[in-house]
C-alpha cells in the first residue's frame, strides 16, 4: 500500500526510515521542516509492508527553465532491513504516475557523489546523469 502522509503522527512514524537517509536530522527538526515544506507543496509518501513503513519519498512539483514542469524527488529511502525488495522502484513508479497526472515532463533528483548504490539503482530505473549540482553555503 502506498499512502500520502499528511499528519504529524504519520510524519513521526516515517521519521526512523527517513533518518536512515537524513542521519543528521532530529525528530523535532524533521517535523518542523516537513511542516514548512508541506506549505510549499512538498508531499511525503510512504510504502507499507505488513502495516509498517518500508520506504518513503518526498517530492514536489515545480516549473523552471531547464526542466519545464517537473517532479523533483528530494528524498527516496527504503528501510535497510527490506532493501532490494522492490519498494524503491514501486515508490518511483508512483512518483511517475503523479508526474503524468500533473502533466510533468521530467522526474529529477540529486544524489550524493559517494552514494554509488543509489546511482546504480537510478540508472536501472532509467535516469540519466547529465549534470553536476553546485552549492555555496551562506
The model carries a pTM of: 0.93
Tell whether the torsion through CA atoms of 80, 111, 122 and 77 is positive or negative. Answer: positive
What's the pLDDT tens digit per position in 111-138? 888 888 988 989 999 999 988 888 899 9
Domain range for 73: 2-124
Q: How many domains is the chain partitioned into structurally?
A: 1
Beta strand pairing call for 2-5 and 106-109? unpaired
Q: Is residue 96 part of a domain?
A: yes
Q: Is residue 137 part of a domain?
A: no
Q: Is residue 131 part of a domain?
A: no
What's the pLDDT tens digit per position in 14-67? 999 999 999 999 999 999 999 999 999 999 999 999 999 999 999 999 999 999
Q: Is residue 115 part of a domain?
A: yes
Q: Is residue 84 part of a domain?
A: yes
Q: Is residue 133 part of a domain?
A: no
**Cβ(45)–Cβ(107) below 8 Å:** no
**CA pair distance 60, 70, nearest whole angstrom:** 8
**CATH number of the domain bearing residue 25:** 3.40.630.30
Amino acid at each position: 500500500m502506498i499512502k500520502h502522509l499528511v499528519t504529524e503522527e504519520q510524519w513521526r512514524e516515517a521519521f526512523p526510515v527517513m533518518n536512515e537517509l537524513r542521519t543528521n536530522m532530529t525528530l523535532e527538526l524533521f517535523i518542523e521542516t516537513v511542516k514548512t515544506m508541506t506549505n510549499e507543496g512538498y508531499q511525503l509518501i510512504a510504502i507499507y509492508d505488513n502495516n509498517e513503513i518500508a520506504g518513503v519519498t518526498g517530492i514536489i512539483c515545480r516549473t523552471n527553465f531547464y526542466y519545464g514542469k517537473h517532479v523533483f524527488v528530494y528524498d527516496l529511502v527504503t528501510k535497510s532491513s527490506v532493501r532490494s525488495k522492490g519498494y524503491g522502484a514501486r515508490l518511483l513508479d508512483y512518483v511517475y504516475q503523479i508526474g503524468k497526472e500533473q502533466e510533468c515532463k521530467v522526474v529529477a533528483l540529486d544524489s550524493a557523489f559517494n552514494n554509488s548504490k543509489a546511482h546504480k539503482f537510478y540508472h536501472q530505473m532509467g535516469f540519466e546523469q547529465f549534470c553536476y549540482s553546485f552549492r555555496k553555503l551562506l
